[in-house]
């Protein structure tokens, strides 16, 4: 998989059983998930980036009216994951649904005994699955903070109530980086374009669409950032749920169909500071916690909101000033998408002390991929994003709308 998702150290929480709901228009799966309090260690720099080799082919839409919901856990309030099953009977794993990558992998029962992350996570056991098919092709994924390697295998995927779909996935045999050891998630399921997939492996979404198990190559994220809420949101495969957002959705074309990359026209801080003044590239990435941008512009932005730079590259914010901080607005497809300080300040409670950290962090992405901004969960937690791979009638696009708080009326 390349590029890698943001990997964060966290204790493992027990996985919860699937709860099935069967309405008339879709199969809904809602999983009650625990929330872990934010920690400064989770706010690390995101993935490294590379230039895709070629344009991917976009999946075609299939008939029907099927939508599937996969609820998401709120990972430290800026990272989200859900549950899938592999094999027959299904072996459960928690995975990050990552729009910035396209491979699917989980730890293996056959991992090296010195690979510590394997011993702290659920591991796939091929001998316990009656549907397992060996592949044996070696794969390796290089991360900004580590790497993993293993072999490709094939087995049945269970996701959102859909069962029995054969997919090729990675069995991680060697995870030498300690960053994986205490990560809350077991693995990663990529939702980027096929061109990003290591070894040309077909992403699971493409297979689900091809088999008609998902109506069309569309999915949406609702990332619930309400600290009082019990759940972390939902990933919806096959469409979007209007109950999650305030209409209308504003659609914009994907400019390079590899990452979910769009054109951003401007960034404004309050009424004074203008950034990305001539337009810039932006990527919507559920595998990145914060919002990142070029160093010079992020420094100016954090200065405008009173951020104090730390050696780690993070910026501290005076918690008492949150009500008076200016909005940060992003102009996309001619529409302003506004972030209040409540949206862009990450509040961390530790031992009775509240710490506030800016949700904006510097990351310089070299050409030809960069420079660009990465709109991670700090942005996506405030807005519902609909990712549409497109079909023969039209190209890939992304739709955005302000997220509706839980319990808000339509």
Given the residues 155, 186, 206, 285, the one annotated as active site: 285
Identify which of 186, 191, 377 has the alpha carbon closest to the alpha carbon of residue 286: 377
Residue 398: helix, strand or coil by DSSP? strand
Residue 24: both structure tokens together: 């008339």
184-222 as b/e: b if 16+ CB within 10 A? bbbbbbbbbbbbbbbeebebbbbbbbeeebbbbbbbbbb
Cα 76–chain centre separation: 13
User: Has 285 been annotated as catalytic?
Assistant: yes
Give the DSSP letter of residue 228: T
- Dist CA 262 CA 280 (whole Å): 9
With a CB cutoff of 8 Å and minimum separation 6, the contacts of 246 are 401, 402, 403, 404
CA distance 282 to 265: 10
E-state strands within 192-278? 218-223, 233-237, 250-253, 256-257, 260-264, 266-269, 273-275
CB 94 within 8 A of CB 15: yes
Q: Please list the active-site residues.
A: 98, 285
């Amino acid at each position: 998989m390349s590029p890698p998702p943001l990997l964060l150290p966290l204790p493992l929480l027990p996985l919860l059983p699937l709860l099935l709901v069967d309405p008339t228009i879709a199969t809904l799966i809602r999983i009650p998930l625990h929330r872990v309090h934010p920690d400064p260690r989770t706010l690390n720099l995101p993935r490294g980036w590379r230039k895709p080799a070629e344009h991917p082919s976009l999946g075609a839409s299939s008939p029907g009216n099927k939508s599937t919901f996969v609820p998401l856990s709120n990972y430290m309030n800026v990272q989200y994951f859900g549950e899938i099953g592999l094999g027959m009977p299904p072996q459960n794993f928690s995975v990050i649904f990552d729009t910035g990558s396209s491979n699917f992998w989980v730890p293996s029962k056959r991992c090296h005994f010195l690979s510590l992350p394997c011993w702290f996570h659920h591991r796939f056991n091929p001998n316990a699955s009656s549907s397992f098919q060996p592949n044996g092709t070696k794969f390796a994924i290089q991360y900004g903070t580590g790497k993993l390697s293993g072999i490709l295998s094939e087995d049945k995927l269970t996701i959102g109530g859909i069962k029995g779909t054969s997919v090729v996935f990675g069995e991680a045999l060697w995870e030498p980086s300690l960053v994986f050891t205490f990560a809350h998630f077991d693995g990663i399921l990529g939702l980027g374009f096929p061109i990003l997939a290591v070894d040309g492996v077909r992403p699971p979404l493409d297979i689900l669409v091809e088999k008609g198990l998902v109506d069309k190559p569309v999915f949406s994220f609702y990332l619930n950032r309400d600290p009082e809420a019990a759940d972390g949101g939902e990933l919806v495969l096959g469409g979007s749920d209007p109950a999650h957002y305030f209409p209308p959705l504003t659609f914009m074309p994907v400019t390079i169909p590899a990452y979910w990359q769009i054109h951003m026209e401007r960034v404004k801080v309050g009424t004074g500071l203008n950034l990305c003044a001539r337009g810039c590239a932006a990527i919507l990435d559920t595998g990145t916690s914060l919002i990142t941008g070029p160093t010079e512009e992020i420094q100016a932005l954090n200065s405008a909101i009173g951020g104090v730079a730390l050696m780690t590259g993070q910026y501290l914010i005076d918690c008492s000033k949150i009500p008076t901080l200016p909005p940060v607005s992003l102009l996309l497809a001619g529409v302003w998408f506004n972030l209040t300080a409540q949206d862009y300040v990450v509040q961390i409670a530790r031992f009775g002390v509240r710490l506030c950290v800016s949700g904006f962090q510097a990351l310089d992405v070299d050409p030809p991929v960069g420079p660009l901004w990465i709109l991670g969960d700090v942005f996506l937690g405030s807005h519902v994003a609909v990712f549409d791979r497109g079909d023969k009638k039209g190209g890939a696009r992304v739709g955005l709308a302000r997220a509706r708080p839980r319990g808000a009326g339509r």
